[in-house]
Amino acid sequence: MLAFIVKRVLLAIPSLLAISFLVFLVARLAPSGPVEIIAGDKATPAVVAQLKREYGLDKPVFAQYVNYVVGIATHGDLGKSFQRGGQPITEMLRTDFPVTAQLAWQALLFAIIVGIPTGILAALFHNSWFDRLAMLGVVALVSVPSIVLGPLLIMVLALHLRWLPIDGWSTPLHTLLPTVTLGARSAAMLARFMRSSLLDVLRQDYIRAAIAKGYSRGRAVWKHGLKNALLPVLTVMGTVFGALLSGSFVVETIFRVPGIGFESINSISKRDYPVIQGMALLVAVLYIVINIAIDVLYGVIDPRIRSQETPK
Amino acid sequence: MSKSTVSLSPSADAWRRLRRNPIAVVAGIYLVLLLTAALGANLFTRYAYDFQDTQRYLTNPSPPDHNHWFGTDDLGRDVFSRLLFGARVSLGVTAVVVVIEALVGISLGLFAGYRGGKTDLLLMRLTDIMFAFPDLLLAILLSAVVRSGSDALPGWLSLGTLFFALGVVGWPGMARLVRGQTLALREKEYIEAARATGVPERDILLRHLLPNLSGPIIVQVTQDVAAVILAEATLSFLNLGVQPPFPSWGRMIFSSLNDMAAKPYLLIVPSVALAMTVMAVNFLGDALRDAFDPRLRE
């Protein structure tokens, strides 16, 4: 088991380095440098040079990258913002990240509560009107992006019916629309996957054997089917989580939710690229860590995966 | 159950089954209409997409009337024109991106699958790295990083960033699919026969393998098209995609947010267009998958 975890972590390192280097390099390839922009047109060359020294931008790009990585590795230093009086980025993350985490967590919960039962019912009543309706709904939900769903929900529920607040993040009621907007697509993905997974299981011999043995269909599914059908669903959780992370950028922008997505998008127009870099890196690490966790969990639940991956 | 004994080629059979699927037919007709509207946008509209009708209309945005069927936006520009030219932008960007990623993905996948060995290993490690990250997130971060480092990007670079961000994340899916299928087909007798009779490798790849992969490739392309349309709209919504004055459905939606209580049509028009287009592509994709599924063949 330990070897399995170590292997997964080692495999993630090249992805992380590639992402961090790409993020780092691309910003430096841009036509006009950040220092020139914050200093303004009237700045003397001496001021520009002073600023460059302060932010370590006078060194060669590769040395800057090494410094950046070493800074993160030794004392978790992500650099400081170009704006906001040079506030450290780790400090900004401490206030913004919990908001995004709460949004993602609630959306995931919503997706599971809606998606999994829908998928199970659709599979149990395969080809019934419910199944057809649910699958039509799935394609519809997958096709309606959050940039359409969010504003439409605001228009109907907040502006016309006045049931819910338009935007912001101050009370639990405020979190309702962003949660639903973010979770809808994932709910559809989970429903579709749960359905096909359970349909596969229902065709297996051991289910037929259980029924032949005298189990009712419902009991056979409950005792043998669901557990086996839920296993593959766990593997798409990584994809679902990725969709939630990218979606949070959009949903936070629509509803003005003060999380890392909203903050990143805001920082773009302010050309505050250390902030973007830090947020991008955090999101990348988060995504990779979650995926490793899912893989490990999968290995814990299903011994076949473990024995496949680890050498004897 | 078939009346005749005439056997159909897989693609002819798929086409026949596709035509019998009502949802696929409706989706197909919608997409053909949309494509016509996008290509002929200058024929079907009365105003240029960036023309500001502020002489006749003193308060903008103005509601729909006989001059402007869908009203005007906050700068007095015709919403109908922007919708059709927006379709051109959306479909144009999508076409370029999907063609690039399909060409890269198919050729790398064919090559890796057929050759095997080190080429294959290298490609698979590369796709592993790419797969370690969700597509849209990577596109958002790439564009965000590029834009945060500079003042205003020149038009070509801005568009280039968009193509790059969307294209670079799309090809691994296609490469994996084609590689997997090629691996399975490589050992078939007809390929072995071709090899034994001295058919050059290029011909084996292009004339014996590729045609037999057309089904899965077409299905994958449809999925990519839906994904790229969505991604372009989302990036433009976040101001990371198509830049003004060019119209984009995503940006039209964003601009409507400030005044949606008073001017709901500014939100509804591009929203409906975007959702319907993605839905049509998805329905068509599902139907194509069924049509090409050999288990469902009659």
Tell me the ipTM for this assembly: 0.80
CB contact under 8 A, B144 and A265: yes
Comparison of pLDDT for B244 and A29, the residue scoring more: B244
A100 contact B CB<8A: no
Q: Cβ(B103)–Cβ(B166) under 8 Å?
A: no
Residue whose entry in the numeric block shows the structure tokens 């590729």: B210
Residues in chain B: 298
A34 contact B CB<8A: yes
- Which among A19, A148, A154 is the nearest to B133, CB-wise? A19
pLDDT at B67 over 60: yes
- Measure the CA–CA gap between B254 and B173, rounded to whole angstroms: 30
Which residue in B has a C-alpha nearest to residue A277's C-alpha? B145
CB contact under 8 A, A151 and B267: yes
Is the peptide bond prior to B245 cis by the omega test (within 30 degrees of 0)? yes
Which of A11-25, B100-114, B125-139: highest mean pLDDT?
Answer: B100-114
Amino acid type, A64: Q
Q: What is the pLDDT of residues B175-233, one digit of tens each?
A: 888 988 888 888 888 888 888 888 888 888 888 888 888 888 988 899 889 989 998 99
Q: How does residue B2 score in pLDDT terms, banded at 50, 70 and 90?
A: very low
Question: What's the pTM value of the predicted model, to 2 decimals?
Answer: 0.83
- Which among A27, A250, A269 is the nearest to B149, CB-wise? A27
DSSP tag of B52: B
The CA-CA-CA angle for residues B154, B155, B159, to 5°, reads 120
CB contact under 8 A, A23 and B264: no
Residues 112-151 in A contacting B (C-alpha not used; CB under 8 Å): 139-140, 142-145, 147-148, 151
Across B3-27, average pLDDT: 76
Q: In this predicted structure, what is the pLDDT of residue A307?
A: 57
Q: Which residues of A touch B237 (CB under 8 A)?
A: 147, 250, 253
Q: What is the percent of chain B where pLDDT is above 70?
A: 87
Q: Which residues of A touch B238 (CB under 8 A)?
A: 249-250, 253, 265
CB contact under 8 A, B129 and A284: no
- Residue A287 CA neighbour count, 13 Å, CB half: 27
Which residue in B has a C-alpha nearest to residue A269's C-alpha? B148
- Which among B146, B238, B240 is the nearest to A30, CB-wise? B146
- Measure the CA–CA gap between B83 and B278, rounded to whole angstroms: 15
Which residue in B has a C-alpha nearest to residue A14's C-alpha? B129
- Measure the CA–CA gap between B131 and B135, rounded to whole angstroms: 8
- Measure the CA–CA gap between A220 and A212, rounded to whole angstroms: 10
Q: In this predicted structure, what is the pLDDT of residue B58?
A: 67
Q: In this predicted structure, what is the pLDDT of residue A48?
A: 75
Q: Cβ(A239)–Cβ(B134) under 8 Å?
A: yes
- Which among A147, A253, A271 is the nearest to B148, CB-wise? A271
CB contact under 8 A, A148 and B274: yes
Q: Which residues of A touch B256 (CB under 8 A)?
A: 151
DSSP tag of B248: -
- Which among A18, A147, A265 is the nearest to B129, CB-wise? A18
Mutate to test the interface with A, among B122, B124, B148, B223 (most CBs of A within 10 A): B148
Q: How many interchain CB pairs under 8 A, A with B?
A: 146
Q: CB-based contacts of B203: which residues, under 8 Å, 6+ apart? A: B194
What are the DSSP calls for B264-282, one per residue? HHHHHHHHHHHHHHHHHHH
Q: Which residues of A touch B286 (CB under 8 A)?
A: 139
CB contact under 8 A, A254 and B257: yes
- Measure the CA–CA gap between B99 and A290, rounded to whole angstroms: 33
Q: Which residues of B touch A29 (CB under 8 A)?
A: 146, 149
Q: Which residues of B touch A32 (CB under 8 A)?
A: 150-151
CB contact under 8 A, B151 and A37: yes
Amino acid type, B230: L
Mutate to test the interface with B, among A147, A248, A279 (most CBs of B within 10 A): A147
CB contact under 8 A, A287 and B261: no
Which residue in B has a C-alpha nearest to residue A238's C-alpha? B134
Q: What is the pLDDT of residues B19-50, one digit of tens each?
A: 888 888 999 999 999 999 888 878 887 777 77
Number of other CB atoms surrounding residue B271 within 10 Å: 23
- Measure the CA–CA gap between A128 and B148, rounded to whole angstroms: 52
Please list the pLDDT of chain A residue by residue as tens digits (312 residues).
777 778 778 877 877 777 777 777 766 665 555 666 666 666 677 777 777 777 777 777 778 888 888 887 777 777 777 776 678 888 888 888 899 989 999 999 999 999 999 999 998 888 889 999 998 889 888 888 899 999 999 888 888 888 888 777 888 888 889 999 999 999 999 999 999 888 888 888 888 888 888 887 777 778 778 878 888 888 788 778 878 888 888 999 999 999 888 888 888 777 777 787 788 778 878 877 887 888 788 777 777 666 554 443
CB contact under 8 A, B271 and A148: yes
Q: In this predicted structure, what is the pLDDT of residue B136?
A: 75
CA distance B52 to chain A (A): 26
Q: CB-based contacts of B87: which residues, under 8 Å, 6+ apart? A: B34, B37, B38, B41, B249, B273, B277
User: In sequence order, what are the beta bridge partners of B77?
Assistant: B52
Mutate to test the interface with A, among B90, B140, B145 (most CBs of A within 10 A): B145
pLDDT at B74 over 70: yes
Q: What is the mean pLDDT of chain B?
A: 81
Q: In this predicted structure, what is the pLDDT of residue A267?
A: 80
Q: Cβ(B162)–Cβ(B95) under 8 Å?
A: no
Q: In this predicted structure, what is the pLDDT of residue A64?
A: 80
Across B128-150, average pLDDT: 69
